Amino acid sequence: MVSVNNFFNNPNIKMIAQEGNVKVMEYQKDYTMNPMAAQPLFYCDKMGVRKRQVTIELKNTSCILSAGAMQWTLGNVQAQTDLKGVGDFLGKAIKGSVTGESAIKPLYQGNGLVVLEPTYKYILLENVENWAGGMVLDDGMFLACDGTVQQKVVRRSNFSSAIAGGEGLFNLALIGKGVAVLESPVPREELIEINLENDVIKIDGNYAVAWSGTLQFTTERSSKSLIGSAATGEGLVNVYRGTGKILMAPVR
Entry pTM: 0.83
128 pLDDT above the threshold of 60: yes
| pLDDT tens by residue, 73-89 | 999 999 997 654 434 44
Contact 90, 129 (CB under 8 A): no
- pLDDT at residue 6 in the model: 84
223 Cβ neighbours under 8 A, 6+ residues apart: 229, 231, 232, 234
Contact 235, 174 (CB under 8 A): no
| pLDDT tens by residue, 182-215 | 999 899 999 999 999 999 999 998 899 999 999 9
Please, which pLDDT band fits residue 36 given cuts at 50, 70 and 90?
confident
Please, which pLDDT band fits residue 33 given cuts at 50, 70 and 90?
confident
Please, which pLDDT band fits residue 247 given cuts at 50, 70 and 90?
very high
